[in-house]
Chain A
């Protein structure tokens, strides 16, 4: 590749957790303390299951993005989040292993600002333009912790989005971008803090968004040579109602072009949200339309994209944000929300005291098997098996050292046997698990997640998902593994 290629997005994907917390449940539980919440008690926010975090949501979005793509083609990975589970252990490396990407790729974690997501995408697009990398995967996930009964709890949501970027088979080409770096501190989360500290909203709206965003928008339009009136989709995350429309109009953009912030159905997913909204916009865009993406945070990123004729083929093969939103399960139990997010000190019982230390030597020795769900396929008898071992499990074969690595994570399966267990410690009892028989062969006794109690039985179809297996809270570590999700048909 040489310089000045026309770079753009080549695929997109999105993920919103299945649980949706009814905002009325938040208001009802907290209005004794904060009566003003009642005015915000409209719609629902997405709610990560107890076993989801920014990494797992990014992986889900990336699986959607790569659904019909060769994973071997990915040359670089950008992972964006302000809620990365590890401060030192590259989180992108977990994403890469879960996706079974090649080892000889570049990878980076992009963080510390609400525009980390858009900046990661811009960096990838810029590198592709310059011809310095081939195909890059940009994945973002966000799972912010909030205090009980605050406005953030109402407004925030959990979600992920992912894109591949390159110069071939582009579905949305980058026409131009403009970035501003300004240390405007509307909120911050300092070292050791888990929760944002925010300043007055009227100041953020008037001095922050209203003055900084238009400068970035104008700059991006100028650099891309696109007129404001030509923007068909104005993508701007913002928790203040009607502000994106006001800013768009002030820049000469049609108010009709302002894209839904998904406040009513999802809430704002932090640094992932500009990408979540872009993913959602690409699901709805037609070829030849111009999209302006804006992301505010210590300045502002703005980029102008133009969709191509290749977009519809990709649209047909994605679950996307829309599909994720349809796959919803309403949650009205505010106590469950508090428990899942560590906001209440639940009595977990002695069975929860088990020490979960992870032997890192074992994790590394088997990392492709554990995090990538790479099983084995016997070269003698073709039997698929998990775990991958030295001696084939087929009683008619038992060949030694014949198992070739085989990625089993994208297989569908069915439940052979199952139980819903109230005895074992689970953050979300009863713990469902059972024997999963995979369609291409192989089987494993697995935990289930995202279960509707009462709907599982022998024969139920499942897909797999990369989730948190256990927390080792003594050491700040967490184990990841794959779980079975009973197929609701909507996914």
Chain B
């Protein structure tokens, strides 16, 4: 009988590059930037790493295929490197690989590193991804904002929410993240915005305006993991341990079966339930200290508050407007500024979220530091509402 991942693996060190339009850096330079910080934080040498998981999504724009870009860039000692591509959950899935390897006892120290160099496309927004051979013939001509925007129409229809009220709640989601990001030196966008600015911004995909969409940026993040025992033997205390690592993938139900109403993430609810069970959390609204969720678009974050069972179904608009997810609210969300201010270098984002949870749990988040957080949740959502990969990770103080 599986016993879950709780407290079997500790984070030994983490690193995160400055995110943004890194015109001067390629993927390789960003990888080194995150890696050196993680290595120094862990207090180990490269030769002590026994296996690595490398996440990156858009290989056409970045480093190409395979695991060799990581191995070569970091001059790893000819160890196994597994390339992970799982949409926007790629970084979290790479972390899962490294953590599982340590938990299995296959190695003592493992690395997860994610990177994405998006600003070599020549235009704004995410590049269109390849979709195989059949989808281009029967799929629709969409984009990420247009896919996620549809949550809004379905949510309004289901909950009878007025269009203006939903738009204002979406605006508040972004205003809160910009306020948080404005004090984070590693964030890409560091300006505060107002609700009116967000509401009146040009439309990208109805009803999402410019400020309802996260930025597009370059970045890398890395985690080095080991067992709590080894971490302690290396002189670490106040360990941050992994409490839950769950992934849930669509199986075609949302896309092809009429039981889904389009207003929520079917996978997120499944991944969240399993993660809480794995972490032993029964009342998430009370137990989760803080969250970094996949706020690719404001509406995604809003419905995710319900899918993670923090807000009751249909209650996210009220919670958002009450400031429950603000920095001084009940469950601060996107305390580092989120995808909204970091942008979304796809392969790196999951690890960037864990980086903030790790800093907060160790009391090292500077101006953003929350008071005594115990459990942090990260959430990624890759693909589209009707077909996606969802990851939910929970990390926390050892024993919490």
Contacts and interface: CB of A to CB of B under 8 A. Distances in A.
Given A419-B146, A422-B204, A433-B142, A385 B256 contact: yes
Nearest to A430: B206
Given A351-B123, A362-B133, A430-B205, A417 B142 contact: no
A469 B125 contact: no
A459 to B, nearest CB: 7
Interface in A366-394: 366, 369-370, 383, 385-387, 389, 393-394
B262 interface: yes
A481 B261 contact: no
Given A442-B256, A443-B257, A423 B205 contact: yes
A287 interface: no
Given A362-B137, A393-B256, A424 B153 contact: no
Contacts of A393: 251-253, 256-257
Q: Could you say which of B139, B146, B252 has the most chain A C-beta atoms within 10 Å of its C-beta?
A: B146
B100 to A, nearest CB: 27
B136 interface: yes
Contact of B138 (A350, A356, A369, A442): A369
A425 B203 CA distance: 15
Contacts of B252: 389, 393
B206 A420 contact: yes
Nearest to B128: A354
B205 A420 contact: yes
Contact of B205 (A387, A394, A419, A447): A419
Contacts of A394: 257
B143 interface: yes
Interface in A439-491: 441-447, 457-459, 469-470, 479, 481
A434 interface: yes
A395 interface: yes
Contact of A350 (B122, B147, B262): B122
B258 interface: yes
Interface string A70-102: 000000000000000000000000000000000
The residue in B121, B139, B142, B156 that gathers the most chain A C-beta atoms within 10 A of its C-beta is B142
Given A393-B253, A423-B145, A458-B153, A442 B140 contact: no
B282 interface: no
B265 interface: no
Interface residues of B, number: 45
B149 A395 contact: no
B134 interface: yes
A359 B140 CA distance: 17
A418 interface: yes
A435 interface: yes
A479 B141 CA distance: 13
A486 to B, nearest CB: 13
Given A354-B128, A445-B140, A421 B205 contact: yes
A152 B141 CA distance: 33
Given A435-B262, A443-B256, A424 B123 contact: no
A481 B204 contact: no
Q: Which of A359, A394, A417, A444 is packed against the most chain B CB atoms within 10 Å?
A: A417
Contact of A387 (B123, B138, B157, B204): B138
Interface in B309-352: none
Contact of B134 (A349, A362, A383, A418): A362
Contacts of B204: 421-423
B254 to A, nearest CB: 9
B386 to A, nearest CB: 6
Contact of B386 (A385, A442, A445): A445
Given A393-B257, A469-B137, A421 B153 contact: no
Nearest to B252: A393
A343 B43 CA distance: 65
A425 B125 CA distance: 12
Contacts, number: 143
B150 interface: yes
B382 to A, nearest CB: 17
A395 B257 contact: yes
Contact of B157 (A441, A442, A458): A458
A434 B205 contact: no
Nearest to A446: B140
A423 B258 contact: no
Contacts of A479: 136-137
Contacts of A395: 251, 253, 257, 259
Contacts of A459: 157
A417 B258 contact: no
B39 to A, nearest CB: 38
B137 A366 contact: yes
Nearest to B261: A416
A394 B261 CA distance: 15
Contacts of A441: 258
B146 A417 contact: no
Contact of A349 (B123, B138, B207, B258): B123
Interface in B171-211: 203-208
A431 interface: yes
Interface string B103-125: 00000000000000000011101
A442 B253 CA distance: 11
A351 B149 contact: no
Nearest to A454: B206
B154 interface: yes
B137 A417 contact: no
B5 interface: no
A363 interface: yes
A472 to B, nearest CB: 10
B159 to A, nearest CB: 12
Count chain B CB atoms within 10 A of each CB in A395, A415, A421 and give the residue with the most.
Answer: A421
Nearest to A387: B138
Contacts of B145: 419, 421, 423
Nearest to A391: B252
Residue of B149, B151, B153, B259 with most chain A CB atoms under a 10 A cut-off: B153
28 contacts: A351-B123, A369-B138, A370-B137, A387-B138, A389-B252, A394-B257, A395-B257, A395-B259, A416-B157, A417-B151, A417-B154, A417-B262, A419-B145, A419-B149, A419-B150, A421-B145, A421-B149, A423-B146, A424-B142, A426-B141, A433-B141, A437-B258, A442-B256, A443-B255, A445-B139, A445-B140, A469-B141, A481-B138
Given A419-B205, A458-B154, 16 more contacts: A351-B123, A358-B136, A370-B138, A383-B257, A415-B153, A418-B150, A418-B153, A420-B203, A424-B141, A430-B205, A431-B141, A431-B146, A435-B262, A447-B140, A470-B141, A479-B136
A-B pairs, top 6 by smallest CB distance, nearest first, are A421-B146, A417-B150, A419-B149, A458-B157, A420-B206, A417-B154
